[in-house]
């Protein structure tokens, strides 16, 4: 299929990419129309053309992330991450309509052949096929054409703005900015019985704003806004203002405040600078609100991707219900989309349309027509994943499968499932050239195609399950690297083991003890192998520390302090169903490191949370754990979301007979021994070394670098730590 690809060096291409796969409980849609949001997408295209200095000025938050990466991993890794970001294409588009081509087996709302409106910057791309979760789609009613339905998402942005404004019949509302969203706001306010004064810079927008309901229009530079407002409101000022501009200037904000009456309300919908002059804002006691995208549910992964709808008695208007409301307004003719649509373009000519927008073409609504004819074909739906459970650690199966340390022949190729920035930066560069690459799989088709070209994979797909179920072209199964989100690890591992594949899976191995038991049982019947991405044990300074420890007699004590920083509630790690939380998803690294250092089995663990696991993130974020090992050694983990970013992110100190050793960020090891201090330096946290060792195993040149029994032991310790947190008591691990 074809999809628009935007590169960060300004290039834009129409690329051939694999069809996407419906998400759980979602749908596959054959797109008939999508809408270019001229303001938003033009801004993205212009940002892509910026040089590095301009990008840094525009996104200081990203600059801080790069500096943090450099501090923790070194400048080489930081630069490589930036390079990967800049060379990776981004999709464009977020408002589309089409015909349902395939329905996941867990979906009950849609049928193949349904006409649907689709939204979401993460899925409703300008592409011939799109994979949409259930609550980001709405059925198109009779009387609404597909090109109109393609506006649904953009119209919902305007509708949510009006809901935030809470206008009353007869209110006088100033709408500053008459781009596509501003005009839709004007249209909706007029339909709501409000009187609208529209403001813009371009004279051609006067007639358009009047046609959608503006009572009066002010063109800045030709008319004085303050005088027009005073005349229009008999000197009182407007009841409310909508800021639908996109500018770094504070002028629109100052104009809005000046136009307001006492106790008026301002709603900001555009990406505009807002700096409030205290005196005027205070004296008028103004209320400032922001309108967030399509409505409640936006940016909540449990709603958008998990299908957890909000009860209508508690949240009347979710983003999906806003979709339905906009489609009804289209059916009744309330939304004047014919007036706002200034151009219809065949999809294959879309690049020319973007070039003309960049050159200053005064478009408002540009509809891409995919010229679809005929009925969609029907394909077999996928199977929904099984629910997770949490049995006790004491009931976990401990019998470790038998293991062959070395392959007798090389694997024919390596397939990869999951092509995020981590895999592209930290894993694939260290495997390239060491083993033939087969198929790359990623949910985002554009990303899959990009990685295929960059790393010379033979094919790209979007369905990992189908890849693992299909017979190998050579007759011999290849190895597979799994770097997806955590909740997919176990299902993919089980499918790969059924084929007898050698597996590398990023940590954690799985999310539940039930999954761990299933992996044990399947591995016992498989010819495959499993290695988990516990990379820190492979870091150069870690192997040097291990030599120091082995040379000293008796048990040791280790303290690992991790200043992880606060978790962004919008990050996918905050979705417990996907990540398992930070203890399972991140702290497992450091618990494994204790097992590596001591070379002894953990026998008991006690743990507690430092901050209450309540509120927006109701699961452990800051944790302290104490682990006792069979040889008498002890490990203390302090994993904290609190602290200061100037402190090293990871510090491990080991005390033993005659020495003290400390690793800082895996870049330096300092050993104090015999009244002397020796420093060892090393770059990286072991990703390169682990990939090198695994590829040597796949080529049948070396033993397996991390047998399953060791990874399993570390995962069992992690599950025991979670149980200790839940029960408030120490947990003994089975022998």
Pairwise CA distance, residues 626 & 603, whole Å: 11
Q: Residue written as tokens 């019949």? A: 169
Segment 129-151, tens digit of pLDDT: 999 999 999 999 999 999 999 99
Mean per-residue pLDDT, 690-699: 96
Weakest mean pLDDT among 18-22, 80-84, 96-100, 563-567: 80-84
pLDDT score of 269 = 95
Determine how β-strand 287-290 pairs with β-strand 260-268.
Answer: parallel
Mean per-residue pLDDT, 657-670: 96
Say what percent of the chain tops pLDDT 70: 90
Pairwise CA distance, residues 226 & 344, whole Å: 38
User: What's the sign of the alpha-carbon dihedral 385, 386, 391, 395?
Assistant: negative
More reliable by pLDDT, 641 or 38: 641
Pairwise CA distance, residues 431 & 95, whole Å: 38
pLDDT of 388 over the 80 cut: no
- Work out the mean pLDDT of the chain and round it to a whole number: 90
Mean per-residue pLDDT, 71-100: 81
Pick the CATH number of 157-290 from 3.40.720.10, 3.40.50.1820, 3.40.50.10900, 3.90.180.10: 3.90.180.10
Closest C-alpha to 686, from 537, 577, 573: 537
Which residues have a Cβ under 8 Å from the Cβ of 64 and sit 6 or more positions away?
A: none
pLDDT of 377 over the 50 cut: no
Pairwise CA distance, residues 121 & 113, whole Å: 24
Segment 150-181, tens digit of pLDDT: 999 999 999 999 999 999 999 999 999 999 99
pLDDT score of 395 = 47
Q: Is 490 helix (H, G, I), strand (E, B) or coil?
A: helix
pLDDT score of 379 = 33
pLDDT score of 389 = 37
pLDDT of 30 over the 50 cut: yes
Segment 332-356, tens digit of pLDDT: 999 999 999 999 999 999 999 988 8
Q: What are the domain boundaries of the chain? A: 2-49+90-151+299-369, 157-290, 413-532, 537-690+698-732
Pairwise CA distance, residues 485 & 467, whole Å: 17
| DSSP string for 344-367 | EEEGGGHHHHHHHHHTT---SEEE
How many other CB atoms sit within 10 Å of the CB of residue 296? 20
> How does residue 399 score in pLDDT terms, banded at 50, 70 and 90?
low
Q: Could you tell me if residue 643 is left (phi over 0), alpha (psi between -120 and 50 degrees) or otherwise beta?
A: left
pLDDT score of 56 = 58
Determine how β-strand 95-103 pairs with β-strand 115-119.
Answer: antiparallel
Weakest mean pLDDT among 192-196, 239-243, 444-448, 489-493: 444-448
The DSSP code for 220 is B
Domain spanning 537-690+698-732, CATH architecture: 2-Layer Sandwich (3.30)
| DSSP string for 550-609 | HTS-S--EEEEEEE--PPPTTSGGG-HHHH-HHIIIIIHHHHHHHHHHH-S-EEEEEEEE
pLDDT of 513 over the 90 cut: yes
More reliable by pLDDT, 260 or 63: 260
pLDDT of 218 over the 70 cut: yes
Class (C level, CATH) for 2-49+90-151+299-369: alpha beta
Mean per-residue pLDDT, 409-426: 94
The reply to whether 2-49+90-151+299-369 and 413-532 are identical in fold is no
Determine how β-strand 502-505 pairs with β-strand 479-482.
Answer: parallel
The kind and range of the H/E element at 214 are none
Domain 413-532 adopts which CATH fold? Rossmann fold (3.40.50)
More reliable by pLDDT, 614 or 216: 216
pLDDT score of 29 = 97
Segment 364-375, tens digit of pLDDT: 999 999 987 653
């Amino acid at each position: 299929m074809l999809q628009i690809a935007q590169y960060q060096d300004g290039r834009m291409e129409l690329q051939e990419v694999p069809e996407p796969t419906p998400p759980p409980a979602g749908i596959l849609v054959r797109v008939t129309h999508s809408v270019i949001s001229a303001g938003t997408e033009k801004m993205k295209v212009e940002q892509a053309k910026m040089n590095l200095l301009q990008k840094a000025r525009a996104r200081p938050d990203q600059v801080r992330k790069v500096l943090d990466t450099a501090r923790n991993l070194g400048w080489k890794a930081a630069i490589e991450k930036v390079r990967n970001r800049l060379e990776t294409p981004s999709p464009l588009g977020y408002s589309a309509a089409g015909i349902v081509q395939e329905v996941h087996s867990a979906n009950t709302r849609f049928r193949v052949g349904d006409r649907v409106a689709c939204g979401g910057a993460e899925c409703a791309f300008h592409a011939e096929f799109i994979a949409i979760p259930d609550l980001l789609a709405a059925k198109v009613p009779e009387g609404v054409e597909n090109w109109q339905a393609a506006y649904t998402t953009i119209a919902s942005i305007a509708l949510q703005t009006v809901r935030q404004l809470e206008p009353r019949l007869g209110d006088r509302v100033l709408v500053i900015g008459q781009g596509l969203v501003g005009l839709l706001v004007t249209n909706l306010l007029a339909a709501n019985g409000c009187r609208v004064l529209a403001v813009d810079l371009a004279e051609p927008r006067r007639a358009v704003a009047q046609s959608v309901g503006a009572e009066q229009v002010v063109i800045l530079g030709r008319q004085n806004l303050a005088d027009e407002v005073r005349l229009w409101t008999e000197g009182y000022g407007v009841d409310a203002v909508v800021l639908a501009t996109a500018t770094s200037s504070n002028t629109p904000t100052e104009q809005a405040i000046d136009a307001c009456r006492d106790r008026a309300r301002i709603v900001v919908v555009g990406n505009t600078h807002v700096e409030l002059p205290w005196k005027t804002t205070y004296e008028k006691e103004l209320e400032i609100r922001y309108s967030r995208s399509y409505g409640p549910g936006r940016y909540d992964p449990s709603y958008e991707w998990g299908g957890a709808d909000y009860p209508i008695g508690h949240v009347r208007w979710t983003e999906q219900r806003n979709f339905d409301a906009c489609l009804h307004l289209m059916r009744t003719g309330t939304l004047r989309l014919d007036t706002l649509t200034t151009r219809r373009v065949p999809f294959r000519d879309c690049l020319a349309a973007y070039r003309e927008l960049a050159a200053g073409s005064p478009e408002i609504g540009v509809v891409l027509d995919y010229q679809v004819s005929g009925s969609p074909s029907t394909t077999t739906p996928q199977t929904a994943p099984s629910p997770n459970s949490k049995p006790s650690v004491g009931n976990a199966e401990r019998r470790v499968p038998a293991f062959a340390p070395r392959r007798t022949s090389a694997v024919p190729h390596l397939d990869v499932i999951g092509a995020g920035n981590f895999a592209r930066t930290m894993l694939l560069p260290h495997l390239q050239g060491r083993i033939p690459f087969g198929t790359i799989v990623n949910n985002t088709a554009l990303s899959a195609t990009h990685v295929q070209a960059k790393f010379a994979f033979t094919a790209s797909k979007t369905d990992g399950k189908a890849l693992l179920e299909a017979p190998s072209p050579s007759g011999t199964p290849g190895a597979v690297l799994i770097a997806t989100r955590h909740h997919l690890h176990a299902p993919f591992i089980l499918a790969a083991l059924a084929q007898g594949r050698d597996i590398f899976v990023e940590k954690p191995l799985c999310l539940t003890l039930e999954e761990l038991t299933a992996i044990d049982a399947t591995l016992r019947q498989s010819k495959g192998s499993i290695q988990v991405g516990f990379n820190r044990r492979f870091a150069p300074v870690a192997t040097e520390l291990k030599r120091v420890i082995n040379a000293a007699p008796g048990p040791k004590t280790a303290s690992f302090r991790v200043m992880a920083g606060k978790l962004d509630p919008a990050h996918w790690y905050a979705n417990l169903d996907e990540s398992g939380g930070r203890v399972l998803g991140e702290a497992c690294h450091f618990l494994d490191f204790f097992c590596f250092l001591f070379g002894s089995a953990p026998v008991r663990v006690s743990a507690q949370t430092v901050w209450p696991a309540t509120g927006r993130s109701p699961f452990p974020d800051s944790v302290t754990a104490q682990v006792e090992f069979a040889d008498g050694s002890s490990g203390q983990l302090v994993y904290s979301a609190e602290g200061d970013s100037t402190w090293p992110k990871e510090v491990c100190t080991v005390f033993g007979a005659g020495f003290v050793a400390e690793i800082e960020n895996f870049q330096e090891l300092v050993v104090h021994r015999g009244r002397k201090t020796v420093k060892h330096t090393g770059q990286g946290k072991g990703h390169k070394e682990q990939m090198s060792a695994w590829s040597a195993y796949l080529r049948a040149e070396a033993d397996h670098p991390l047998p399953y029994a060791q990874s399993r032991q570390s995962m069992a310790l992690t599950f025991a730590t979670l149980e200790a947190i839940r029960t408030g008591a120490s947990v003994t691990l089975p022998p």
